[in-house]
A and B are shown apart, each in its own frame.
Chain A
Amino acid sequence: MGIKLYQEPKLENPVLVASWPGIGNIGIIAVDTLRGILEAEEFGEIEPWDFFYPRRVFIRKGVLEYLEFPNSKFFFKKTEGKDLIFFTGEEQPTEGGRMYAEGRKAYHMANLVLDVAEKFKCRRVYTSGAAVALTHHTAKPRVWAVPNSESLIPEIRRYENTVLMSDIEGRRGHGNITGLNGLLLGVAKRRGFEAICLMGEIPVYLQALPLSYPKASKSVLEVLCRSLAIEAPLDKLDELDQKVQQRIEEFYQQIPLEIRGQLDRLKHMTYAQPAEPGPITEEEKKKIMEGVEKFFKKGGGGG
Chain B
Amino acid sequence: MSQGYPIKIYKGVEFRRSCLVLGWKEDGGNLGRKVTDYLNRKLKGQEFAEIEPEEFFPLGGVAIRGDLAQFPESKFYACPEHELVVFQSDTPGAEWYKFLNSVLDVAENHCRVKELYIIGAMVSFSAHTTPRELLTVVNSAEMKTILSQYDVARDMDYQTPPGERPTLNSFLLWIARERNIPGVSLWVPIPFYLAAMEDAQAHKKVLSFLNQRLDLKIDLSDLDQEIREQNEQLALARSRFPQIDDYINRLESNLMLSEEENEELIRRIEEFLKEEA
Q: Mark B67-81, 1 if CB is under 8 A from A, else 0.
A: 000000000000000
Chain A residues close to B by CB (< 8 Å): 49-50, 53-64, 67, 95-96
Contact partner, A53, options B137, B153, B156, B171, Cβ 8 Å: B171
A-B contact pairs, 5 of them (CB 8 A): A54-B170, A56-B165, A61-B155, A62-B155, A62-B156
**B177 interface contact, C-beta 8 A:** yes
Please report which residues of chain B, range 161-177, place their CB below 8 angstroms from some CB of chain A when the two chains form the complex: 165-167, 170-171, 173-174, 177
Residues in A whose Cβ lies below 8 Å from that of B140: 63
Are A53 and B144 within 8 A (Cβ)?
no
A64 to B156, CA, bound (A): 10
Residues in A whose Cβ lies below 8 Å from that of B166: 53-57, 67
**B160 interface contact, C-beta 8 A:** yes
Known: A56-B159, A57-B158, A59-B137. A50 touches B97 (CB 8 A): yes
Residues in A whose Cβ lies below 8 Å from that of B58: 96
Are A62 and B159 within 8 A (Cβ)?
no
A145 to B35, CA, bound (A): 58
Please report which residues of chain B, range 204-253, place their CB below 8 angstroms from some CB of chain A when the two chains form the complex: none
Contact partner, A64, options B96, B165, B177, Cβ 8 Å: B177
Are A54 and B138 within 8 A (Cβ)?
no
A62 to B148, CA, bound (A): 12
Are B138 and A62 within 8 A (Cβ)?
yes
- B188 nearest CB across to chain A (Å): 15
- B77 nearest CB across to chain A (Å): 26
**B256 interface contact, C-beta 8 A:** no
Are A61 and B157 within 8 A (Cβ)?
yes
Besides A63-B141, A64-B137, 20 other A-B contacts (C-beta < 8 A): A50-B98, A53-B165, A54-B170, A54-B171, A54-B174, A55-B160, A55-B166, A57-B166, A57-B170, A58-B159, A59-B137, A59-B158, A59-B170, A62-B136, A62-B156, A63-B144, A64-B174, A67-B170, A67-B174, A95-B94
A58 to B177, CA, bound (A): 14
Chain B: interface size category: 20 to 34
Residues in B whose Cβ lies below 8 Å from that of A50: 95, 97-98
The 9 closest A-B pairs by CB, nearest first: A57-B166, A56-B160, A59-B158, A67-B174, A57-B170, A62-B154, A49-B97, A61-B155, A54-B166
**B36 interface contact, C-beta 8 A:** no
Contact partner, B157, options A54, A56, A60, A96, Cβ 8 Å: A60
- A286 nearest CB across to chain B (Å): 36
**B139 interface contact, C-beta 8 A:** yes
A54 to B168, CA, bound (A): 9
Are B159 and A67 within 8 A (Cβ)?
no
Are B139 and A59 within 8 A (Cβ)?
no
Are B138 and A64 within 8 A (Cβ)?
yes
A54 to B165, CA, bound (A): 7
Residues in B whose Cβ lies below 8 Å from that of A55: 160, 165-166
A1 to B56, CA, bound (A): 17
- B41 nearest CB across to chain A (Å): 31
- B213 nearest CB across to chain A (Å): 16
Chain B, Cβ-Cβ closest to A67: B174
Please report which residues of chain B, range 63-122, place their CB below 8 angstroms from some CB of chain A when the two chains form the complex: 94-98
Residues in A whose Cβ lies below 8 Å from that of B167: 57
Q: Mark B116-156, 1 if CB is under 8 A from A, else 0.
A: 00000000000000000000111111001000000001111
A62 to B140, CA, bound (A): 10
Are A57 and B159 within 8 A (Cβ)?
yes
Contact partner, A63, options B97, B138, B159, B160, Cβ 8 Å: B138
- A37 nearest CB across to chain B (Å): 28
- A52 nearest CB across to chain B (Å): 9
Residues in A whose Cβ lies below 8 Å from that of B165: 53-56
Chain A, Cβ-Cβ closest to B135: A62
Residues in A whose Cβ lies below 8 Å from that of B185: 64
A60 to B154, CA, bound (A): 10
